[in-house]
Amino acid sequence: MKGSIYIKKIFTPVYKVLKKKIVGSGNSISKKSLPAKLSIEIRGNNNQIKLDENSHLGNLKFFIYGNNNKIEISKNCIIKSGTFWIEDDNCEIFIDSKTTIESVDFGVSENNSKVYIGKDCMLSSGVKFKTGDSHSILDAEGKRINFAGDIYIGNHVWIGQDVVLLKNSIIKDESIIGLRSVISNKEFEKNSLIVGMPAKVIKENINWLRERI
């Protein structure tokens, strides 16, 4: 009898909704993979959250303030901890299959801005993405000069601890970003080792493996 109780406890799902507040219409949440802890707040219309099958998800928090936004985590991903924050309309956060993340903070603000992360990427802890500045910066004539921009991460990219990726950042396939690097408004070619604040290429024609050989 004791053995039966013990087995039951092991396989009891730990999925728990800490907070769920949805204000608006046409919003949809598709959960084929269930986070261990989940917090959702949506204020707006026609927003989508899609968590595909066979992903192992830890403590996830979703905040969407606007309309027609989308967050998608593809199949076979591992995300231990993450905050997904979207403001305004027609924004998107997309994480492709087999990507692993220790902890991440997404800030996607301003209409039509996006963060795209490709297949089989590996993100360490404390990684941050920000497509905009959240507030306006004006020139001498009072015109805004700090519009948002997309962030694109290719396939099989390794991003080190505490890296910050800002608007208009493009990292192509099979590259590495060293810890605490800051990237903004810059495009890097594939197979690059990228380090620094601001980041620059210190070695070309590299690749990486998850395994230590």
pTM: 0.89
Instruction: Provide the mean pLDDT of the chain.
Output: 92
Average pLDDT on 89-101 reads 98
> How much is the pLDDT for 110?
93
117 near 101, Cβ under 8 Å? Answer: no
Q: pLDDT-based confidence at 16, cuts 50/70/90?
A: low
Top-confidence residue, 201 or 34:
201
Average pLDDT on 118-131 reads 98
pLDDT tens-digit readout, 23-50: 999 999 999 998 999 999 999 999 999 9
Q: pLDDT-based confidence at 85, cuts 50/70/90?
A: very high
Those residues with Cβ within 8 angstroms of residue 140's Cβ, 6 or more apart along the chain or in another chain: none
pLDDT tens-digit readout, 61-71: 999 999 999 99
CA–CA dist 176, 171 (Å, integer) = 9
Kindly list the structural domains of the chain, giving each domain's residue range(s) and its CATH number in brackets, ordered by start: 13-134+146-204 (2.160.10.10)
* Tokens coding 206: 């590299």
DSSP, residue by residue, 175-210: -EE-TT-EE-S-EE-SSEEEEETTEEEEEES----S
CA–CA dist 25, 100 (Å, integer) = 32
Average pLDDT on 179-194 reads 97
